[in-house]
Structure 1
Amino acid sequence: MPNARDNLLNALDYLLHLDALGTAPILTLDEHRLPVFHEHEFQGLPGVETHLTDGTTEVWLQVRRLRAEPPPPPEATLRLWFDLSNDPAKRPTLFERIELGHHQLSTYLTLPDQSGTPPAEPVPERLELRLEDFPQVSERFSRYLEQAWQPWATEEAPKRKAIRLYDRLFSLLQDAEIGGGAEGAIEVAWGVGLALWDHQDSSKQIHYPIISRTVEIQVNEHSMALRVMPTERDPEIHADGFKEIGKNTDLLYTRARSEFADADKTFSPLDRESFEGILRFAAGHLDQQGCYSPDESPDVKDRTLPKPQHHLIVTDTWVIFAHKRSSSFITADVKRLKQEVKWTPKTRQ
């Protein structure tokens, strides 16, 4: 006979069912159709720092605002022989031939390093010059690439990646602020433990962090650096996708609750001790062939994601992602209450 505890759980399940009508569990980050930032995108970039503290405030990520530097200018006459892009990924190459107008040609031919003395005959209105007739151009171009352009490109390329990440994060900050409570408003979360699974029996793919915690992005008004910091909300376990492919997730929730309650430190995606036990348990419990990727890969510095397989892979990498807030303001509270009730020992009725 159902007791009061079971009746309460049934009532909470019904509330969640009503909220979920017409919506399917999210199995992949792409389904949110909102920005996603993976750990490997930040790795080794200038201006990026993790695991900072500001007094008593935790700062999980800081991205400084950097300024792009233009490429070093070549000599004026050499500049005529190629297009110089502002993109360090676009290595310049020489034209096979160029066509100069009267003004350009007059200047070009009177320079000492070209002919030594001004031409005796009148300069034509237009003239085509071929690279093969000017071997000194190729020599000067090679020196320019080696001594000026390549050092600039080597330093500038990672800086440009950091600038693009900064711009994307800043745009996400604006979107989160503008949404403020309206329908379709978004919030930002920091997840750890990417579950990757190409599930054959259901023909479904899972690509989602198992643990996440809501974060906020702030901008330093003086330096304009962006900071990603955790909110006061508790970490969440994402297991609805596993239910969709027929997996029982009750033990995962129980294990997570136990570890979070017993932990000496609060959860942080940058502190392995605060999450590794949960992730390793999830990998083995949800799939007999599942694996926790750090146990399989010897290269701990490789933070790129492995390709999904027909068995579950759980990584130790982190991800920052945006998602829409629930249309119901009480859904998160109901979920937390349900877990509290489930984890509370049964008493005699």
Structure 2
Amino acid sequence: MTEGASLVIDLLDYIEQVEKLKSKPPFSIPAEYFVAHQHELKGLPALEFNLQDADDDVWLRVPRLQECLAPEPVEQLKPWITLPKTPEKQPELKQESVVMEGKKEVSRAKLSDHPVITGLFNEYVTSQWEPWAAAERPRRKTISRYNQLFSLQQAIASDGAETPLELVWGIGYAAWKKEDFGTPVRYPLLVQSCEISLNPTTFDIEVRPRDVEPRLELDCYAEMELPGVRQLEAFWKSTLANGANRVNPFEASSYDGVLKAAVGHLDQTGSYEARTDDVTPPSPGDKLQVTNTWVLFARKRSGDIFIEDVRRLKKTIERAPTLPPVIRGFVERGEDTVRVQPSQPFRGLSTSDGGAGTFELYFTAGLCRRLGRGPSPTGVARRSTQDPGTLGFAFCRVWPPGSGSRARRRLPESSPVSSTHP
């Protein structure tokens, strides 16, 4: 690494840890938005998993199915039967049949006077209703999952990049009720951020892994103050650096080693179980139990956006051949003497005149003067709008996260913020 890079990375590590202290680590999967465990999706009709080709990688595809109505009974039975719309309820046989013409009652008959109706009802339920209900129940579950994912996709798409939600695929479900610790763990160890989209041709819901690295989520174990967390984080970093293939919930070889290492570092009495038939998540016990099962769920992403930015910045610094003076200024000792800075003229909204060397003014003159004094942590602005990148960087660091793209659109096109903040 270049000179000063290690110090900058140490500083970013500190910032990342401070940011984590602001949020409460998750111990359980949030259920208020969307959650689907592997055993809940396994066996549902029309669902497709792990569709890979040269140009695409779809982990889940949910088709848009239509409900199938219950079979019609014979005409003689229709006045006596009540058919529910859902296969979860059984048809009911009326004790009395009333024939109406408009609002006028024409005739009334009792079931006891028509014993043949009971036989027709029993035959209908046995030969038509029950086979239909057995096939329609899992189909309705697929439709329900489609509707849930469709609502989630619409919520994320309408909010764009500022959405507070993200869809993630958790791999390696862990369960543990540690002795002398009140909160049990019911949370996956590996989490891959996913994107959810609506196929414009078929209207299928498709879930794909995003082009970001999976995360080993150990915050809840750090809250327990387990000594093996640091060693496990180091193991995970080396795995990411040396891994040729990305983590895939349908390829055990891509995550088995990490999950086994997690058990060894976090609880020497724990166990790792590779399940095939029964993929129901385990219940917390006095020993850590990690399985190869997965879960798809939605959660708030507000706390992860900044941390992901910090991690990407660290990787950029590791690869950079040189560091700009403004970055080195965060970790280098400042000057011992105070330099007198020359006065700088500005022109802006209220003044259009200016001589040679006049700078364009987008913010207050005092702010621009302070930002323009040299390559230091407080001098992150260039002295000209010809290279506004650093001023945009400085402003974006204090830009309120809730301001959104609508507020940024009010800035002029040549503004440093509009040119550096998407």
Q: TM-score, normalised by structure 2?
A: 0.68
| Matched AA of 2:134 | T
2-structure distance, mates of 1:66, 1:223: 11
1:306 aligns with 2:286: no
1:229 aligns with 2:208: yes
1-structure distance, mates of 2:293, 2:86: 30
CA RMSD of aligned residues (A): 2.8
Shift of 1:325: 2.2
Shift of 1:185: 2.0
2-structure distance, mates of 1:143, 1:93: 13
| Matched AA of 2:203 | M
| Matched AA of 1:218 | S
Q: Which residue matches 1:27?
A: 27
1-structure distance, mates of 2:26, 2:116: 62
Deviates more, 1:250-259 or 1:83-92: 250-259
Q: Which residue matches 1:15?
A: 15
Which structure 2 residues correspond to residues 32-181 of structure 1 after superposition, within 5 A? 33-95=32-94, 97-101=95-99, 103=101, 127=108, 129=110, 131-181=111-161
| Matched AA of 2:182 | S
Deviates more, 1:311-320 or 1:15-24: 15-24
Deviates more, 1:249-258 or 1:143-152: 249-258
Deviates more, 1:43-52 or 1:281-290: 281-290
Q: Deviations over 1:314-335 (max 9, x none)?
A: 1111111222223574321324
1-structure distance, mates of 2:134, 2:12: 57
Query: Alignment partner for residue 285 of structure 1, among 240, 265, 278?
Result: 265
Give 5+ residue unaligned stretches, structure 1. 107-123, 343-349
| Matched AA of 1:11 | L
- The percentage of aligned residue pairs carrying the same residue is 33
Shift of 1:181: 3.1
1:321 aligns with 2:301: no
Deviates more, 1:253-262 or 1:71-80: 253-262
Shift of 1:280: 1.4
| Matched AA of 1:64 | P
- CA contact under 8 A between 2:80 and 2:97: conserved in structure 1? no
| Matched AA of 1:306 | P
Give 5+ residue unaligned stretches, structure 2. 319-422
2-structure distance, mates of 1:252, 1:341: 23
Q: Deviations over 1:145-170 (max 9, x none)?
A: 12211121111111100000111111
1-structure distance, mates of 2:56, 2:184: 37
CA 1:341/1:271 → structure 2, altered by over 3 Å: closer, same or farther?
Answer: farther
Query: Alignment partner for residue 330 of structure 1, among 303, 306, 315?
Result: 306
Q: Deviations over 1:104-134 (max 9, x none)?
A: 9x9xxxxxxxxxxxxxxxxx966451x3432
- Name the SS of the counterpart of 1:68 in structure 2: coil
CA 1:177/1:336 → structure 2, altered by over 3 Å: closer, same or farther?
Answer: same
Q: Deviations over 1:138-197 (max 9, x none)?
A: 111121112211121111111100000111111111111122233x62221111001111
- Name the SS of the counterpart of 1:191 in structure 2: strand
Q: Which residue matches 1:114?
A: none
Q: Deviations over 1:38-96 (max 9, x none)?
A: 1112111111011112442111111111110110111233123232011111122323x
Q: TM-score, normalised by structure 1?
A: 0.81
- Name the SS of the counterpart of 2:137 in structure 1: helix
Deviates more, 1:199-208 or 1:75-84: 75-84
Q: Which residue matches 1:238?
A: 217
Who wins on radius of gyration, i.e. which is larger?
A: 2
CA 1:340/1:270 → structure 2, altered by over 3 Å: closer, same or farther?
Answer: farther
Q: Which residue matches 1:198?
A: 177
- CA contact under 8 A between 2:44 and 2:139: conserved in structure 1? yes
1-structure distance, mates of 2:213, 2:62: 25
CA 1:51/1:24 → structure 2, altered by over 3 Å: closer, same or farther?
Answer: same
| Matched AA of 1:150 | E
CA 1:169/1:125 → structure 2, altered by over 3 Å: closer, same or farther?
Answer: closer
| Matched AA of 1:148 | Q
- Name the SS of the counterpart of 2:57 in structure 1: strand
